[in-house]
């Protein structure tokens, strides 16, 4: 099965699976390896471990074999853990699916029950249940399940509600698929993975709860368990600590194994999502301010890129391949490319924001010597303004932050700088906005705030990575005009990453066309776009569509 192979592909999954496989084999073979009742007296009492080949781990106060106890105890621990977790998952899935699909009153009622079970600690519930009904293995299993089903129930319901809104479920409805088939084919299989990942935690918790119950003497007295062995050893803890240590170790190894397997399962089910973006090098060169980014002659090189390649973790080919490019001071450079061209990788590399695990080769040399510091020397505007703004900080705090940190302003001064920036990006009612939160703004307004925050510390270089692709055309036109004005006013260098050749033509003086990690063509915007030398650039220009392009249909209404 591919899932097992994926789990085994990661060390945590392989180790976890290995540990559990050994434990399960020992538990299954216990009657063969150690025939007879493990609770019977087998030899002299309190034999030290490693002293007698007949009792490798010694014997307890009554002369029972410790190793036999541990191996037989694994049967109880693993069985109770698995059975309780399965029962909890069965109850949780049924309740969560019912609540998620039924909605309305049934959902309300079921979720209040879930609330009640989540408020009462699971262990207390199990404890009370076993004390009242009496200890036997099935009762312990049920007691643990009762304390553990609420979490998977809540998770299942939340997943159902989210998957129901996906486009592929809408597509199935539009196709006329029967609601029952939608539930079982479109929704359920996509709800299960996160719930299965949670199940490892439930198994581990169930094993620990079982051990705790039997430690307190609430387990089945007729079977040997690790919890009862630890409790038994407690009476002679000073003279013979091994009586508690060995079953304790067995418990720790088992739980660690379950967690590792769960970790492997989670990773396997999550797939290979892009790694989160973090600065590749945390080197902060605070001391080396880079005034040269602002000063110096217009048109002199700000940054020279030589033979520069980047390979992302887990990818075969490079995202950027042997790039040579010069960025001129005070220029407005558009980096143009389709998906997979490497244009965003270049923007991130210039800003020192390559994701973890990305391998860079070649040279990027800056006019001032040191690389510009993001936030102070260079501002970065991302495609998705809702992802780049912190949802719990006010607009004022986020815009003021850069000015405070990099211009050394006091909070009141930084606040007035923030106010000034909000006015500059033409946001209405800037005074009120300082205290607003990102979610109260539209997408276009959020992007204006992101631009204000990027420019608050007066950087000499602004990198905008598809800053308008998540916005509609009308807002896009406004944001582009704004960026153009701000950059002209401050004499900044602008690097504008876009897939839209016409958008770039509108205000860039230089363009660089990228395709599949390679630079295809670069030069003055007018020259490249009116008389492209390369076939790919010609194709891009030919594919461009605006209002003057002849329509694909002829005639009027049929």
Partner 1 sequence: MSLLVAENLGKRYLSAGRRVEALCDVSLSLAAGETLGLAGASGSGKSTLARVLTRLTPADGGRVQFAGEDWLALSGSALRKRRGRMQMVFQDIAGAFNPRATVASALDDPLRIHAVVPKAERAREIAALLDRVGVPAAYAGRPIASLSGGQRQRVAIARAIATRPALIVLDEAVSALDVSVRERILELLVALQQERDIAYLFVSHDLSVLRALSHRIAIMEAGRIVEAGPAAQVIADPRSPAARALVRAVPHLSPQKEPIDGR
Residues that bind partner 1 (CB under 8 A): 166-168, 170-178, 185-186, 189-190, 338-339, 442-443, 471-477, 480, 499-503, 505-506, 529-530, 539-541, 543-549, 551-553, 555-558
Rounded CA separation 348/355 (Å): 8
**Which C-beta is closer to partner 1: that of 190 or that of 304?**
190
Strand runs labelled E in 300-446: 301-311, 320-328, 332-337, 359-366, 378-381
Name the helix (H) or strand (E) containing 495.
Answer: strand 493-498
**Min dist. Cβ of residue 549 to partner 1 (A):** 7
**Which of 427, 378, 376, 437 minimizes the C-alpha distance to 402?**
376
- DSSP annotation string for 241-258: THHHHHHHHHHHHHHHHH
To the nearest whole angstrom, how small is the minimum distance from the Cβ of residue 101 to partner 1? 17
Cα gap 147→418, rounded to integer Å: 51
CB of 435 to partner 1, least distance (A): 17
Cα separation, 497 vs 334, whole angstroms:
6
Q: Which residue, 3 or 39, is less far from partner 1 as judged by CB? A: 3
d(Cα 335, Cα 349) in Å, to the nearest integer? 13
Nearer to partner 1, 32 or 552 (CB): 552
Q: Tell me the closest approach of the beta carbon of residue 177 to partner 1, in angstroms.
A: 6
Q: In this structure, is the dihedral angle defined by the CA atoms of residues 178, 184, 188 and 189, taken in order, positive or negative?
A: negative
Using the minimum distance from each CB to partner 1, give the nearer residue, 219 or 532: 532
What is the closest distance, in whole angstroms, from the C-beta atom of residue 6 to partner 1 in the complex? 15
Task: Compute the distance between CA of residue 253 and CA of residue 233 in angstroms, rounded to an integer.
Answer: 19
Map residue 288 onto helix, strand or coil. Answer: coil
Could you give the CA distance from residue 405 to residue 453 in angstroms, rounded to a whole number?
Answer: 12
- The CB-of-303 to partner 1 minimum distance in angstroms stands at 27
Query: What is the tally of helices (H) and strands (E) in the chain?
Result: 22, 9
- Residue 193 vs 296, nearer CB to partner 1: 193
Do 153 and 241 form a contact (C-beta atoms < 8 A)?
no
In angstroms, give the least distance from the CB of 295 to partner 1: 33
State whether residue 515 is helix, strand or coil.
Answer: strand
Backbone dihedral angles phi then psi of residue 544, each to the nearest 5 degrees: -65, 140
User: Least distance from C-beta 427 to partner 1, angstroms?
Assistant: 17
Residue in 348, 385, 343, 375 with CA at minimum distance from that of residue 475: 385
- Compare residues 53 and 473 and give the one whose CB is closer to partner 1: 473
* Alpha helices, H only, 63-187: 66-102, 104-119, 122-133, 137-148, 150-164, 167-175, 179-181
Cβ proximity to partner 1, 119 vs 548, nearer residue: 548
Least distance in Å: CB of 194 to partner 1? 13
Cβ proximity to partner 1, 66 vs 529, nearer residue: 529
Q: Which residue, 137 or 541, is less far from partner 1 as judged by CB?
A: 541
Rounded to the nearest whole angstrom, what is the least distance from the CB of residue 492 to partner 1 in the complex? Answer: 22
| 303 in Cβ contact with 350 (< 8 Å) | yes
Which CB, 216 or 477, lies closer to partner 1? Answer: 477
The helix (run of H) or strand (run of E) holding residue 548 is: none
Of 141, 166, 18, 28, nearest in space to 85 by CA: 141
Task: Specify the long-range contacts of residues 414-420, CB closer than 8 Å, at least 24 apart.
Answer: 417/456, 418/452, 418/456
Give 104's contacts (C-beta < 8 A, 6+ positions apart). none
Q: Cβ of residue 53: shortest distance to partner 1, in angstroms?
A: 55
Q: Which is closer to partner 1, CB of 168 or CB of 411?
A: 168
């Amino acid at each position: 099965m591919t899932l097992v192979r994926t789990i085994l592909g990661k060390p945590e999954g392989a180790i976890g699976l290995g540990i559990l496989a050994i434990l399960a084999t020992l538990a299954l073979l216990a009657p063969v390896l150690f025939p007879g009742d493990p609770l019977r007296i087998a030899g002299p009492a309190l034999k030290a471990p490693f002293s007698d080949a007949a009792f490798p781990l010694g014997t307890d106060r009554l002369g029972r074999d410790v190793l036999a106890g541990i191996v037989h105890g694994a049967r109880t621990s693993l069985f109770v853990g698995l059975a309780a977790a399965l029962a909890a998952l069965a109850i949780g899935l049924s309740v969560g699916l019912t609540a998620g699909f039924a909605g309305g009153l049934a959902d309300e009622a079921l979720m209040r029950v879930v609330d009640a079970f989540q408020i009462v600690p699971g262990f207390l519930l199990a404890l009370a249940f076993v004390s009242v009904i009496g200890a036997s293995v099935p009762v312990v299993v049920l007691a643990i399940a009762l304390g553990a089903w609420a979490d998977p129930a809540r998770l299942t319901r939340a997943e159902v509600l989210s998957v129901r809104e996906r486009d592929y479920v809408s597509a199935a409805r539009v196709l006329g698929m029967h609601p029952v088939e939608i539930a079982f084919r479109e929704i359920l299989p996509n709800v299960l993975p996160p719930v299965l990942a949670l199940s490892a935690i439930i198994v581990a918790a169930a094993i620990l709860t079982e051990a705790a119950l039997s430690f307190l003497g609430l387990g089945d007295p007729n079977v040997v368990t690790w919890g009862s062995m630890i409790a038994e050893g407690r009476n002679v803890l000073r003279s013979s600590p091994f009586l508690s240590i060995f079953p304790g170790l067995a418990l720790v190894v088992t739980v660690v194994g379950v967690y590792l397997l769960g970790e492997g399962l989670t990773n396997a089910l999550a797939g290979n999502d892009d790694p989160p973006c973090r600065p590749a090098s945390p080197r902060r060169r605070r001391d080396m301010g880079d005034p040269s980014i602002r000063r110096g002659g217009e048109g002199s090189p700000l940054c020279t890129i030589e033979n520069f390649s980047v390979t992302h973790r887990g990818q075969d080919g490079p995202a950027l391949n042997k790039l040579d490019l010069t960025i001129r001071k005070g220029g407005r450079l558009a980096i143009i490319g389709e998906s997979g061209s490497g244009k965003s990788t270049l923007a991130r590399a210039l800003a020192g924001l390559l994701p973890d695990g990305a391998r860079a080769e070649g040279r990027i040399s800056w006019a001032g010597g040191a690389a510009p510091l993001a936030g102070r020397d260079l501002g970065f505007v991302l495609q998705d303004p809702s992802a780049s703004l912190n949802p719990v900080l006010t607009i004022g705090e986020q815009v003021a932050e850069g000015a405070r940190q990099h211009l050394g302003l006091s909070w009141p001064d930084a606040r007035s700088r923030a106010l000034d920036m909000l006015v500059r990006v033409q946001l209405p009612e800037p005074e009120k906005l300082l205290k607003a939160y990102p979610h109260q703004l539209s997408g276009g307004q959020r992007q204006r705030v992101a631009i204000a925050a990027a420019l608050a510390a007066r950087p000499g270089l602004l990198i905008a990575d598809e800053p308008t692709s998540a916005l509609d055309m009308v807002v896009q036109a406004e944001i582009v005009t704004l960026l153009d004005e701000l950059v002209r006013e401050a004499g900044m260098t602008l690097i504008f990453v876009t897939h839209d050749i016409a958008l770039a033509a509108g205000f860039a003086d230089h363009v660089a066309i990228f395709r599949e990690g390679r630079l295809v063509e670069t030069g003055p915007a007018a020259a490249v776009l009116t008389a492209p030398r390369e076939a790919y650039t010609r194709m891009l220009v030919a594919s461009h569509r605006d209002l003057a392009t002849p329509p694909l249909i002829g005639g009027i209404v049929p």
